[in-house]
A = this chain, B = another copy of it.
Amino acid sequence: MSGTAFPPDRYRRITDGLGRLAGGAGPSVLIQAEAVVALEALAHGIGLAGRPVLSIESSRYGRLSTDWLRAAGAQVTALELPDGEAADPQRVDDLLRAEPDTAAVVFTQAEVLTGVAHPVDDIVEAAHRHDAAVAVDAVAAVGGLAAPRNADAVVIGPQKALDGPSGLSVATLSERGWALLGRQDETFASVLSLPYLRHSARDQGVPGTPSVPELEAAERALAAVEAEGIEARITRHHAARAAIREGLRAMGLTPWVAAEQHANTLATTVEVPADADARELAGHAVASGGHWVYGGSTKRGAYLQVSHYGRRATLAHVLGELAALARAAGHFADVGDAAEAASEAWHTAVL
């Protein structure tokens, strides 16, 4: 119906390239809209089966998934986690034992807002032990953390650690993942139907009207990842995580996520000392050239957050954020120690 053309083979290469970065469980589909649309489609499709689902909620996106699953008819057990707390695979195991008919476990691999990263591979193993499929939102992880192994459905968007556009996303599903969506008729057109989208891409090459600028931006992002190497890209994000956490500790502050392996590599959160006002502290840090924002608060107190993904996953960026926070916190004397610790951690990580 349109005059805009985009070569189907390029469309396919973009889909497959992003799908591979997502773990490449099986055939991938490209959604020409923000990743939140792909996430809604996935939750909606899973929910239609009307079976029990375990939804691990570690942020707003987790809560949205619960809503979408329920609205579509699933019986959802929601595992609500405090901000920044990683899911415990044992707890997942227990909940699945309690509800053996659970069709799927749905969760977000890592959060930029709270800085947490869940032990995705352990959760997948636990779920599979109980014959439940696993659907993962990896938007805030892909490119900075290893892709989930053996997950049944993974949704990514290229706008964070991949330095790509925000207007498209990709879902990659294993055979079992596609089976989760078995209630959706692949010939019924709907933005909330991944089976329709797959059918339609197979049929038409490029489903719908291609958004050329978005597709070209995705191509450039993929080319840049290929040039750097996905391993090197992930290592760079790990180095950023190590550097900023060591730097924070050296200046007397405490990372909000205690265990490094549970901390996201794309963003870091830090405890606000009890005697400080969190929003004021963030404001001072921004006035000092940083990008810290008030993250949230729980019973443990309040925390600030800062991102360090994509082209900002550099030692320079980390040092700048540490210096800004040090100045804001009045721990001025500590910026030197922070820089030294951060620099050492960075270089150890990238070796």
Which residues on the B side are within 8 Å of A347 (C-beta)?
288, 327
Among B33, B307, B316, contact of A316 (Cβ-Cβ < 8 Å): B316
Which residues on the B side are within 8 Å of A33 (C-beta)?
32-33, 37, 191
Flag whether A286 is at the interface (Cβ < 8 A).
no
Cβ distance A294 to chain B, nearest Cβ, rounded Å: 14
Among B40, B64, B159, B217, contact of A213 (Cβ-Cβ < 8 Å): B217
Q: Are B211 and A68 in touch, CB under 8 angstroms?
A: no
Which residues on the B side are within 8 Å of A314 (C-beta)?
289, 320
Given A4-B166, A190-B68, check contact A343 B317 (CB 8 Å). Answer: no
Flag whether A234 is at the interface (Cβ < 8 A).
no
Which residues on the B side are within 8 Å of A344 (C-beta)?
332
In this complex, the member of A2, A214, A288, A319 whose beta carbon has the largest number of chain B beta carbons within 10 angstroms is A319
Q: Are B335 and A324 in touch, CB under 8 angstroms?
A: no
Docked Cα-Cα span, A336 to B326, in Å, equals 13
Cβ distance A323 to chain B, nearest Cβ, rounded Å: 4
Which residues on the B side are within 8 Å of A64 (C-beta)?
189
Cβ distance A53 to chain B, nearest Cβ, rounded Å: 18
Among B140, B166, B288, contact of A211 (Cβ-Cβ < 8 Å): B166
Q: Are B71 and A209 in touch, CB under 8 angstroms?
A: no
The size bracket of the interface on A is 35 or more
Q: Are A191 and B37 in touch, CB under 8 angstroms?
A: yes
Docked Cα-Cα span, A140 to B191, in Å, equals 20
Cβ distance A148 to chain B, nearest Cβ, rounded Å: 20
Cβ distance A143 to chain B, nearest Cβ, rounded Å: 14
Contact with B along A189-226 (1 / 0, CB 8 A): 11110000000000000001111011001000000000
Flag whether A167 is at the interface (Cβ < 8 A).
yes
Docked Cα-Cα span, A191 to B346, in Å, equals 41
Residues of chain A from 229 to 248 with CB closer than 8 A to chain B in the complex: none
Docked Cα-Cα span, A301 to B187, in Å, equals 28
Given A32-B167, A34-B208, check contact A320 B316 (CB 8 Å). Answer: yes
Docked Cα-Cα span, A159 to B327, in Å, equals 32
Contact with B along A161-195 (1 / 0, CB 8 A): 00001110000000000000000000011111000
Flag whether A253 is at the interface (Cβ < 8 A).
no
Which residues on the B side are within 8 Å of A336 (C-beta)?
335-340
Cβ distance A319 to chain B, nearest Cβ, rounded Å: 4
Jot down 17 A-B pairs with beta carbons below 8 A, ordered by A: A1-B140, A34-B208, A34-B211, A71-B188, A71-B190, A165-B211, A166-B209, A167-B167, A191-B192, A288-B347, A316-B319, A316-B320, A319-B320, A323-B346, A332-B343, A333-B340, A336-B338
By Cβ-Cβ distance, the 3 closest A-B pairs, closest first, are A316-B320, A339-B339, A336-B336
